[in-house]
């Protein structure tokens, strides 16, 4: 494969920095763009001496002129506590930011991959979720800034394809976890692991019977690379996630096995519009990309616990005591 100039927006975040690492290993020139509102510079420290790496602090809500062969758009807070903190900025990032990136891709003829989300399905009435399902989203709820922002971004991408024949790719990412997650992320795996390492009770919302499907980050990165390298007629949207389905209570049991001890639990009220089921139908990913996840939950959690244990000393305060930390 020829070496590319690749722009990654939101590249200081969890998925962005893992993808940056992989692309640099392959010898590409990688430009990471991030406003650091949720991304972390420490995620990029390993790359600062690499001559093929460049960092630009920038908010994609403002136009930018950067020539790139490929663009990966990760820019947008993805955890409920983070995107609900400034909901107007969240929806601007998804919508206006996507417009700016699409205009940039149109100017330079770049291939552009947009990371959408399983949240476009809302609290689904179809299970597992298939790409043709149009969702059950509350457009005025507290999660709408993210859910509807991502839905509108998909609209923009497909309108640019129809009007300008832009080379677009759209994936819908389901819950992903692994090294370089922010310990202060507030999502269920980072929340549970960090609290367990600190000896704090786990916070379970509702009765813990709601389900999630957890994809290890290495599997996710492989899928994203297969998608960006796929034929131009493979556009998406394509679900990317692990179809293994676990209730929150089952996740607690897996962690108890890893920690070899009983973990205490505080049950809390279920937040507004929290989806009760998540499970991707990955038939399209298997057929069009030849992809399916390989790393099971136990192995992925073992790696994640090692990572969080190595960085936990950086975080002395308990960031997970608020009711806005959703699952």
Catalytic residues: 146
Q: What are residue 215's DSSP bridge partners?
A: 176
119 token code pair: 């949240």
176 token code pair: 């992903």
Output phi, psi for 165, to 5 deg. Answer: 55, 40
199 token code pair: 């000896």
Cis preceding-peptide flag for 237 (omega within 30 of 0):
yes
Output phi, psi for 239, to 5 deg. Answer: -70, 130
The rounded distance, in Å, linking the Cα atoms of 197 and 191 is 10
Nearest to 32 by CA among 71, 3, 1: 71
DSSP string, 203-258: EEETTS--EE--EEHHHHHHHHHHHHTS-TT----EEES----EEHHHHHHHHHHH
Half-sphere exposure of 290 (CA within 13 A, CB side): 5
For helices 217-228 and 14-25, give the axis angle rounded to 10 degrees. 60
First to last CA, the chain: 39
Report DSSP state, residue 136.
Answer: B
203 token code pair: 């916070």
Q: Collapsing DSSP states into helix, strand and coil, what is residue 180?
A: coil
């Amino acid at each position: 494969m020829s070496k590319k100039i690749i722009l990654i927006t939101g590249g200081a975040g969890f998925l962005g920095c893992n993808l940056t690492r992989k692309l640099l290993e392959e010898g590409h020139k990688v430009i990471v763009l991030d406003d650091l509102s949720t991304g972390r510079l420490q995620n990029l420290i390993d790359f600062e001496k690499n001559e093929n790496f460049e960092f630009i602090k920038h908010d994609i809500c403002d136009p930018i002129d950067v020539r790139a062969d490929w663009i990966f758009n990760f820019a947008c807070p993805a955890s409920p506590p983070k995107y609900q903190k400034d909901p107007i900025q969240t929806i601007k990032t998804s919508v206006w930011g996507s417009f700016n990136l699409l205009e940039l891709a149109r100017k330079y003829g770049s291939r552009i991959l947009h990371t959408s989300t399983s949240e476009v399905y809302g609290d689904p009435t179809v299970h597992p979720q298939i790409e043709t399902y149009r969702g059950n989203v509350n457009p005025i709820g507290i999660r709408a800034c993210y859910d509807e922002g991502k839905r509108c971004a998909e609209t923009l991408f497909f309108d640019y394809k129809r009007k300008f024949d832009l080379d677009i790719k759209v994936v819908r990412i389901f819950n992903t976890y692994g090294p370089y997650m922010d310990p202060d992320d507030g999502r269920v795996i980072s929340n549970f692991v960090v609290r367990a390492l600190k000896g704090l009770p786990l916070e379970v919302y509702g009765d813990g019977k709601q389900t999630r499907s957890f994809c290890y980050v290495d599997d996710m990165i492989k899928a994203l690379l297969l998608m960006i390298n796929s034929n131009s007629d493979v556009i998406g949207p394509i679900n990317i996630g692990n179809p293994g389905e676990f209730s929150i209570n089952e996740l607690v049991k897996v962690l108890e096995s890893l920690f070899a001890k009983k973990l205490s639990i505080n049950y809390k009220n279920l937040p507004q519009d929290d989806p009760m089921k998540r499970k991707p139908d990955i038939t399209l990913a298997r057929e069009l990309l030849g992809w399916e996840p390989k790393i099971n939950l136990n192995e992925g959690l073992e790696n994640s616990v090692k990572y969080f244990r190595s960085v936990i000393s950086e975080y002395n305060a308990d960031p997970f005591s608020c009711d806005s930390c959703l699952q």
